[in-house]
Amino acid sequence: MSTFGGDEVSAIVLDVGSCWTRAGYAGEDSPKTVFPTYYGYIPENRVINKSKLGASDLGGGEGSQQVEKKTEKYVMGDSEISVWREYMEIRNPLKDGLIQDWDALEHIWDYALSKRLSVNPVEHPLLVTEAAWSTREIRETLTELAFEKYNCLAFYTVKNPVLTAFASGRPTAIVLDSGAATTSVVPVFDGYVLKKGMQRSPIAGDFLSDQILRQFEQQKITLNPQYLVANKSFTEPDTPAVFTKRDRSNTTDSFHRFQAMKVIHEYKETVCQVFESTYNEAIIASRPMKSFEFPDGFNTSFGPERYKVPEILFRPPEFTIQPQETGVDVGSYVGIPGMIYNCLATCDVDMRANFLANLVCTGGSTLFPNFIDRVYQELNPSFPGHRVKIHAPVNSVERKCSAWLGGSILASLGTFHQLWISRKEYDDHGKVIVEKKCE
């Protein structure tokens, strides 16, 4: 058996999530770099010659990548894509956690490997994480990409929930992952994903952000993202904003939306929270309001609405604003407790106790205050005679990057070298080897 035998070089671990990409060296306890999976795209006919003007001298060269043969331009990196550029679209190569746009994915890999980590992939094995519902085609294309384009020393791919379960110390667990694009509940048994028990819903962070945008519209709040604000003055709460607006013609809708989402992110993190038990309007109305200042200086306080939007995670049909306009068939999705319930219903009854005692939470949308308590409150009465235990790391790196972290440690273990797909194996068997080696 020919295996990859060099444990002296550290492996690279790459986790491309639907909102953030994490990359770093195996064995380290946090990723070296975390940057948005979103990227800026300027079409061929709109790329402006650098000497002429504009946007590029605002940002500096660090993250921008000029593709020489085509003239279209990809812009990567958090600060880079936040700089306003005429005609720049903001796009995302993933849909429902799966890779759709392979050209863009290559740009993300390039950026992560050469710009952020400054490594030559020829010298390193590469471990890539993937969604539990990833397809054979995707895994094979990833393998091909790693060996053909990047000439990696060796390659391996592991499913996110398995890595999360490993990092939590539980080979058997139910992994609840509520991230940006997807909320999923995946049963993992001794390191295997039990596919038939997997539950998936698009009601996650991005959906909530979109709902908050609608809530602002209903409240007649105009959201002016930072890029439109030249300067602002102090105003009393609930009085119209006094600010100078920048002239930003030829801004794309996607750029404006991306900027608006940044504001909403901050709103979500500072204002929103989950109600700790069954939603109760009367109690919530008596809770103190929380104020939020928008980039244009407008500030106001939010009461019940700060509980209402996160409540969608628990009861989608009842709490979604304008459900028919979301593009999601909201009525067909159950909330998180229902997903866990459905997941358990597909599993062997004998395994139920073990699963319930080992529920692992991960993903940014589980970070709402009271989220964990609420999940517990909803589940516990549904399973009398069982002990429900939820594991959610307090450390936010562990919560946001659990899959990366699991991959980092796994790939750094001395014994792992025999599992990598080596260059030779790839040359002998082709891309189909991935199905055999990375089960």
Residue numbers at the binding site for another protein (CB under 8 A): 29, 158-159, 162-163, 165-172, 190-192, 353-354, 357-358, 387, 389, 391, 398, 405-406, 409-410, 413-419, 438-439
| Amino acid letter, residue 76 | M
Whole-angstrom Cα distance, residue 94 to residue 324?
A: 24
CA distances (Å), origin 218, targets 19, 24, 225: 27, 43, 18
* CB 421, min distance to another protein, A: 13
Strand partners, 391: 360
Residue nearer to another protein on the CB measure, 375 or 410: 410
Residue nearer to another protein on the CB measure, 171 or 323: 171
* CB 131, min distance to another protein, A: 14
* CB 34, min distance to another protein, A: 18
* CB 170, min distance to another protein, A: 6
* CB 3, min distance to another protein, A: 10
Residue nearer to another protein on the CB measure, 76 or 403: 403
Residue nearer to another protein on the CB measure, 54 or 169: 169
Residue nearer to another protein on the CB measure, 96 or 439: 439
* CB 301, min distance to another protein, A: 40
* CB 401, min distance to another protein, A: 11
Tokens, residue 70: 């085509």
* Chain position carrying tokens 């139920």: 352
Nearest 5°: CA angle at 162, between 157 and 168? 130
* CB 2, min distance to another protein, A: 15
Residue nearer to another protein on the CB measure, 315 or 391: 391
Residue nearer to another protein on the CB measure, 229 or 351: 351
Strand partners, 184: 177, 200
Tokens, residue 77: 């990196």
* CB 19, min distance to another protein, A: 23
Beta-carbon contacts of residue 156 (< 8 Å; ≥ 6 apart): 125, 126, 127, 128, 411, 419, 420, 421, 437, 438
* CB 216, min distance to another protein, A: 40
CA 111 to mean position of chain CA atoms: 18
Residue nearer to another protein on the CB measure, 88 or 405: 405
CA distances (Å), origin 150, targets 20, 54, 376: 22, 33, 45
DSSP code per residue over 304-343: THHHHHHHTTT-HHHH-SSGGGSSS-GGG---HHHHHHHH
Count, residues in the chain: 439
Taken in order 261, 267, 273, 278, the sign of the CA dihedral is negative
What is the radius of gyration, based on Cα positions, of the chain? 23
Phi-psi region of 44 (alpha: psi -120 to 50; beta: other; left: phi over 0): alpha
Residue nearer to another protein on the CB measure, 32 or 391: 391
Residue nearer to another protein on the CB measure, 268 or 400: 400
Taken in order 87, 90, 95, 98, the sign of the CA dihedral is positive
Could you give phi then psi for residue 152, rounded to 5 degrees?
Answer: -60, 150
Residue nearer to another protein on the CB measure, 99 or 167: 167
* CB 439, min distance to another protein, A: 6
DSSP code per residue over 145-196: IIIIIS--SEEEEEEHHHHHHHHTT-SSEEEEEE-SS-EEEEEEETTEE-GG
Q: Determine the 3-state secondary structure of 207 from DSSP.
A: helix
* CB 418, min distance to another protein, A: 5
Strands (E), 190-228: 192-193, 199-201
Residue nearer to another protein on the CB measure, 90 or 375: 375
